[in-house]
Amino acid sequence: MAKKYPLTAAQKIHYRWINEYKTQQVSGLSVVASLKADLDLDLLKKCILKELDRYKCLKVHFTAPDKKGEIKQYIPKKLKLDIPVKDLSDMTMEEADDTMQKWAYKTIDGDDIPMCEFFIMKLPDGYNGFFLHIDHRLMDSIGMVVMIGDIMSLYTHYRFKSEMPADLADYEEVLENDLKRASNEKRFLKDKKFWDDMLDQWGEPLYSDIQGPGVLEESRKKHNDPNLRAADIEREKLFVAVKDYQLEPESTKNLMTFCINNQLSVTNLLLLGIRTYLSKVNNGQEDITVENFISRRSTKDEWTSGGSRTIMFPCRTVLPSDIEFIAGAYEIQNMQNRIYMHSNYDPELIWEEIRKRYNTPKDTSYESCYLTYQPVSAKLENPYLKDIPMHSKWFANGAATKKMYLTVSHLYNGGMNFSYHYQTAALTEKDMELFNYYLMRIIFRGIEQPNLTLEEIINMV
């Protein structure tokens, strides 16, 4: 009988969202990876089936909820997964993408069933590959990039006799290690103290909205509480739209050079830019919190074990308006470094403590913006494939749990992509355009003159 394990803190985030928003759709993750090449599709299928044994997170099943509503995960001893061929080659690529986008909206409902679905894809313009639709509790974006690379390496091994790719880390071993760490009482108390101390020092957080202070004012009226510091969350109309903006290679190079020269991580520069924009549109508010996703992949085994390790924590920035841009960046970096040390903690416990202390109303939040920075490029390093044109695309699941979620990643051409997923119930493409315009202006003004104060930068842009 398969061994059953509780969910990790990172998996629990997705499970809570599924329950809170009452649909598995919020936990969908979909991608297509294809090459402009006449691939042997039977061999590709064989490689995917082999990947199921190498990358065991793909096999994870969940039990039905117990009386407390909790579920367990396990890897069944035997799994038969059908991998059908889908032929969209007579469409345009845009139509094919639209079709796959619809698949990404589907839910994977049921207990004790496979939580992923593979299709072998025949796409327009000679592209061939595969599509994967998977529950986010099984895999995050880095896990997906590792898996795509491994499947392609298996393919070139069998097709071109390239070296067999090295074994991937065992999912269950890494999971057991995570769960052991999470149940360490001393560690738990240290982590709790860190997060509690922050509330002792700064008190209750204060909401800041992308659209300005009016949103919090509305919530204050609705709850009949002029001192309310949290704003309402949209729970019903979850439809999400996506708007991408690209930063050209030359500007990206300037941004990266600034980070290297100042020993600053890109995440922290982005967090400073976002919080400064929120300060700008909220009358210079100094106490601003942005939710930041952390990959939690540090050891070699964590990198190749798959699974869903990404976890989000509030990055609270209390920066006076007269602080210099570069000093603000270091303040955020110090805060983030401390958070990294305590990132085994279940973020839900932070919110429980806040709700207990400040009596925060149900279905409200202190954050309007969520950030993920992905330093890993989806580019194939495989020497047999690197010169072959690739069509890979991530498809939004269509149901946002967050008002605005920004994913920043690197492009093949050396540029960067800023992908905004936003709830259409509250935000428009114009909001995203303004956000991105000012974010760039703030960051590049800060890079050019890092000794300007945040207030000066806000006034200049």
Partner 1 sequence: MVPEERFKEIVAQYCDVKPEDMKDDLRFREDLGFSSLDFMSLLGELEDEFDVELEEDKVVKIQTIKEAMDLIGELKEEK
Q: How many Å apart are CA 248 and CA 411, to the nearest integer?
A: 9
Question: Rule CB under 8 A: which of 141-200 touch partner 1?
Answer: 181, 184, 186-187, 190
| Per-residue b or e along 324-354, where b marks 16 or more CB atoms closer than 10 Å to that residue's CB | bbbbbbbbbbebbeebeebbbbbbeebeeeb
Query: Which window, 110-118, 146-154, 292-300, 398-406, contacts partner 1 (CB under 8 A)?
Result: 292-300
Residue 262 as a binder of partner 1 (CB under 8 A): the answer is: no
Among 19, 99, 183, 298, binds partner 1 (CB under 8 A): 298
Residue 372 as a binder of partner 1 (CB under 8 A): the answer is: no
Q: How many Å apart are CA 250 and CA 372, to the nearest integer?
A: 22
Residue 294 as a binder of partner 1 (CB under 8 A): the answer is: yes
DSSP class per residue in 87-143: E-TTS-HHHHHHHHHHHHT-----SSS--EEEEEEE-GGGEEEEEEEEETTTB-HHH
By beta-carbon proximity to partner 1, the closer residue of 77 and 300 is: 300
> 10 Å Cβ neighbour count for 424?
14
Among 73, 304, 317, 333, binds partner 1 (CB under 8 A): 333
Query: Which window, 122-130, 147-155, 296-304, 386-394, contacts partner 1 (CB under 8 A)?
Result: 296-304
Q: How many Å apart are CA 408 and CA 416, to the nearest integer?
A: 7
Residue 300 as a binder of partner 1 (CB under 8 A): the answer is: yes
181's tokens: 């760490």
By beta-carbon proximity to partner 1, the closer residue of 336 and 372 is: 336
Residue 343 as a binder of partner 1 (CB under 8 A): the answer is: yes
Residue 171: CB minimum distance to partner 1, A:
16
Element (H, E) at 15: helix 9-21
Q: For residue 7, which of 51, 61, 79 has the smallest C-alpha distance?
A: 61
Residue 337 as a binder of partner 1 (CB under 8 A): the answer is: yes
Residue 333: CB minimum distance to partner 1, A:
7
Q: How many Å apart are CA 29 and CA 33, to the nearest integer?
A: 13
Residue 342 as a binder of partner 1 (CB under 8 A): the answer is: yes
| Per-residue b or e along 211-220, where b marks 16 or more CB atoms closer than 10 Å to that residue's CB | bebebbeebb
Query: Which window, 129-137, 156-164, 293-301, 431-439, contacts partner 1 (CB under 8 A)?
Result: 293-301
By beta-carbon proximity to partner 1, the closer residue of 202 and 340 is: 340
Residue 265 as a binder of partner 1 (CB under 8 A): the answer is: yes
Residue 8 as a binder of partner 1 (CB under 8 A): the answer is: no
161: left (phi over 0), alpha (psi -120 to 50) or beta: left
Residues that bind partner 1 (CB under 8 A): 181, 184, 186-187, 190, 265, 294-296, 298-301, 333, 336-338, 340-344
